[in-house]
Structure 1
Amino acid sequence: MAPAVVVVGAGVIGAAVTYHLARRGARVHCVDRADRPAAGTTEAGFATATAYRRFPKAYFELNQAGIAEHAALAGDSAPWWHRTGTVAWTDDESFAGYLAQLAEWGCPVERYAADGTSVVFPASGPVAFLPSEGWIDAVAFTRHLLDRAVAHGATLALNAEVTSVSGGVGLADGRRIEADVVVNAGGSAADEIGALAGARPFLGPPRRSLIAHLLVDGDPLSCILRAPEVSIRPDGPGRVVLRSDRVDRGLPPRSGTPDPEFVKDLLDRAARVVPSLGTATVRKASVVDARCARDELPSVGSLSAVPGYYEAVASAGVTLAPLFGKALAARIVDGEPDALVDVFTPDRFEAAETS
């Protein structure tokens, strides 16, 4: 008989796991304490499918495989997948060496012709184009996956807070869902879910990022930009999204509504790269808390110390979700390994603590 599985979390990773399990015939239930799918980091994040600056090599290869899974799922016409490519440059002299490393690792890299654009590029140094990358409408993608999962027989319960994990899950409203397997796709709440199952905490501290959504005249961008001061991506007609590592480093330790001076700093940095953004209107700005494992890599797979318990947590969740969903479903339903994904087993934390 096909296994019964509860997936805790209806963000993009939980949705992908639910979809692939349902496709393989598992009896799968997805639960989330929010009132809608993708209500957390999935909805608020920068949402690109990228392997840019992903280290070590095994993690880079994982993200490359995630991009390929997006393309395979989307086909030619999926409305959530926008393969625009990424244009990147830095003020770091080592950038040429990094591009050579990408090429050595099998990543398509092209020299970008910067003439005739509305972007201010550096006077010297390489400008690279990574053609396989793109941006994702993460909310639409998550909803599509869950809709397809339900069509394959899965169930989705929202406003459903998990209060116990043992042989399934108990919910705050008194309901219980029996299951052979529980998959923890709880994102920033993954340690809370894991503790209910008797798993050890594994998340690192929050990584805060200011994300600004702008309304603009026309469509000033045709691709994702990774500049030294700011990252900018299209977000559909008349919209762009911004973030900046340099701004994020100065953020105070709280999420939610950002202080105006940080928003202004982010906008000023963006306008130095794309001058037309100087007249843009801020539609929404928020500070997002993203968390991943304490070694800053994904935690995906079973935890040997807790039978029937799996984790699927990563800071690059939008990129990796379709790959994680496919790999975990193959493992749970048919016992199939995945050489790329299995490197990031949750058991590595147990081994580190006992060595």
Structure 2
Amino acid sequence: MRTAVVGLGVIGASVARSLALAGAEVTVFERTAPAAGTTGTSFAWINSHQKNPLAYHELNVAGIAEHQALQEAGGQWFFPSGNLEWAHGAGRERLSAAVDELRDRAYPVEWITAARARELVPDLRTPPEVSEVAWYPQEGYVLPVALLARLWGEARDHGAKLRCPEEVTGITEDGGGARVALASGAAEHFDTAVLATGRWTEALAGRSGMALPMADPDAAGSATVGLLGYTAPLPSRVGRVLTTPELNVRPEGGGRLVVQGLDLDGDADPADVPPADGTHARELCTRLRNLLAGTEGAYLESLRVGRRSMPADGRTAAGFSASGAVYAIATHSGITLGPLLGRLAAEEIVAGKESALLAQFRPARFSGVDKDSLAPLTPARFAGQQ
């Protein structure tokens, strides 16, 4: 089976790997560079927090398990370090309800004391009013490019080929297969083509005769955008994910941290990225110093505007076009779900094995739907939402 994969982020690399392992002849088309899209700007927290409906929660739980199983086979990109979370004021009721829901779903979570939280993160500074902290022991974080290297490296080992830079401008049904049109004017035939194009999915899917509307990735202050700060190396002892009212933090390797203040995301604008030494950067660093010892003199090496790949109804989409020539994947939870979606997609494409986990997430749900009729997505502004 000759398969084309369009896009080389985590999703594209995962699909390419699983297809190659299944014996398919795989060609990946990447317009600019690997990890040039959402993969390169992600908080990369592996979790199944507030992932509703239940089917989406279960999909993300399976995604966590897929990371664990894949890492057992070699490599280090997933750090199941656990996550600590607390809330203030009215947020406590919201957090308590979220913890109760997760417990009902048998998701690993427990309440611990602030003192115990400081044992888990020695340099943690918990506010005096915080007495209980939610502890999620099986969550963690990913180094996105290291994950991409693991997936794409194994895909290459099994024969997958990369054409980069090479832009795909359209995919149409062609004799039971897929005709892939290129910006150069050339066209090639494949048995199946997979769209793993993130926030660019809507246009290419549309040109392929497939309705897959995406939330606007360029809308300032919307649910699709957020500020991510990347610090210079710091001598602070923090090896876990922290999701707090003021700041979310995860390690990035080499003493660097990724920091995010969800309430600041209302100012995120891809057309006007704040400077790494500006007002937003200083505020993030001030919050970091308040949260962790060993961060005196902290500064950002870069401040980026991340753009999430979100289908217009906020739910993951994975499945075939009506003709069966195109398979598309688009999801906000690409880091958590990447390895799992790649395997499930390959099983559906090569073996015709439909996945029950994906039953509620087919792109066909958008057939005949007016994008403007869909409710606007609510931006994440509280810890645990993103």
TM-score of the alignment, normalized to the shorter chain, above 0.5: yes
Q: Identify the residue that residue 24 of structure 2 maps to in structure 1.
A: 26
Q: Tell me the distance in 1 between the aligned counterparts of 2:335 and 2:158.
A: 22
Q: Tell me the distance in 2 between the aligned counterparts of 1:258 and 1:316.
A: 27
Q: 1:13 aligns with which of 11, 14, 39?
A: 11
SS of 1:70's equivalent in the other structure is helix
Deviation at 1:59, TM superposition (A): 1.3
Specify the code of the residue in structure 2 equivalent to 1:179: F
Q: Identify the residue that residue 144 of structure 1 maps to in structure 2.
A: 150
> Does 325-334 or 288-297 show the bigger shift?
288-297
Q: Identify the residue that residue 192 of structure 2 maps to in structure 1.
A: 181
Q: Tell me the distance in 2 between the aligned counterparts of 1:128 and 1:66.
A: 22
Q: 1:177 to 1:144 in 2, by over 3 A?
A: farther
Specify the code of the residue in structure 2 equivalent to 1:343: Q
Deviation at 1:171, TM superposition (A): 1.6
Q: 1:336 to 1:74 in 2, by over 3 A?
A: same
Q: Tell me the distance in 1 between the aligned counterparts of 2:104 and 2:354.
A: 27
Q: Identify the residue that residue 215 of structure 2 maps to in structure 1.
A: 204
2:179 aligned with 1:168: yes
2:199 aligned with 1:191: no
Specify the code of the residue in structure 2 equivalent to 1:70: H
Map residues 265-280 of structure 1 onto 2, 5 A cutoff.
Answer: 265-280=283-298
Contact 2:123 2:236 in 1 (8 A): no
Q: Identify the residue that residue 67 of structure 1 maps to in structure 2.
A: 64
Q: Identify the residue that residue 241 of structure 1 maps to in structure 2.
A: 258
Specify the code of the residue in structure 2 equivalent to 1:74: Q
Deviation at 1:312, TM superposition (A): 0.7
Deviation at 1:288, TM superposition (A): 1.8
SS of 1:202's equivalent in the other structure is coil
Q: Identify the residue that residue 221 of structure 2 maps to in structure 1.
A: none
Q: 1:56 aligns with which of 28, 53, 57?
A: 53
For residues 144-179 of structure 1, the C-alpha deviation after alignment (integer angstroms, 9 at most, x for no partner) is 211211211211111001122122312223443311
Could you tell me which runs of 5 or more consecutive residues in structure 2 were left unpaired when the two chains were aligned: 173-177, 218-223, 374-386
2:290 aligned with 1:293: no
Deviation at 1:351, TM superposition (A): 6.1
Q: 1:254 to 1:125 in 2, by over 3 A?
A: farther
For residues 175-210 of structure 1, the C-alpha deviation after alignment (integer angstroms, 9 at most, x for no partner) is 433112111110011112112212234101221111
Q: 2:117 aligns with which of 114, 119, 126?
A: 114
Q: Identify the residue that residue 78 of structure 1 maps to in structure 2.
A: 75
SS of 2:154's equivalent in the other structure is helix
Contact 1:32 1:160 in 2 (8 A): yes
SS of 1:311's equivalent in the other structure is strand
2:240 aligned with 1:223: yes
Specify the code of the residue in structure 2 equivalent to 1:300: A
2:354 aligned with 1:337: yes
Specify the code of the residue in structure 2 equivalent to 1:106: A
Q: Identify the residue that residue 140 of structure 2 maps to in structure 1.
A: 134
Q: 1:252 to 1:152 in 2, by over 3 A?
A: closer
SS of 2:101's equivalent in the other structure is helix
Normalising by structure 1, we get a TM-score of 0.92
Specify the code of the residue in structure 1 equivalent to 2:106: G
SS of 2:295's equivalent in the other structure is helix
Contact 1:19 1:145 in 2 (8 A): yes
Contact 1:210 1:258 in 2 (8 A): no
SS of 1:276's equivalent in the other structure is coil
SS of 2:67's equivalent in the other structure is helix
Deviation at 1:266, TM superposition (A): 2.1
Specify the code of the residue in structure 2 equivalent to 1:93: R
For residues 117-156 of structure 1, the C-alpha deviation after alignment (integer angstroms, 9 at most, x for no partner) is 3222242353111111111111121122112112112111
Deviation at 1:223, TM superposition (A): 0.4
> Does 201-210 or 258-267 show the bigger shift?
258-267
Q: Tell me the distance in 2 between the aligned counterparts of 1:83 and 1:255.
A: 35
Q: Identify the residue that residue 93 of structure 1 maps to in structure 2.
A: 92
Q: Tell me the distance in 1 between the aligned counterparts of 2:289 and 2:18.
A: 42
For residues 69-98 of structure 1, the C-alpha deviation after alignment (integer angstroms, 9 at most, x for no partner) is 001001175221211111111221322221
Contact 1:108 1:130 in 2 (8 A): yes
Deviation at 1:314, TM superposition (A): 0.8
Aligned residues: 351
2:281 aligned with 1:283: no
Q: Tell me the distance in 2 between the aligned counterparts of 1:247 and 1:353.
A: 31
Specify the code of the residue in structure 1 equivalent to 2:145: V
> Does 180-189 or 161-170 show the bigger shift?
161-170
Specify the code of the residue in structure 1 equivalent to 2:280: F
Specify the code of the residue in structure 1 equivalent to 2:124: V
Q: CA RMSD in A?
A: 2.1
SS of 2:343's equivalent in the other structure is helix
Q: Tell me the distance in 2 between the aligned counterparts of 1:343 and 1:317.
A: 17
Q: 1:42 to 1:344 in 2, by over 3 A?
A: same
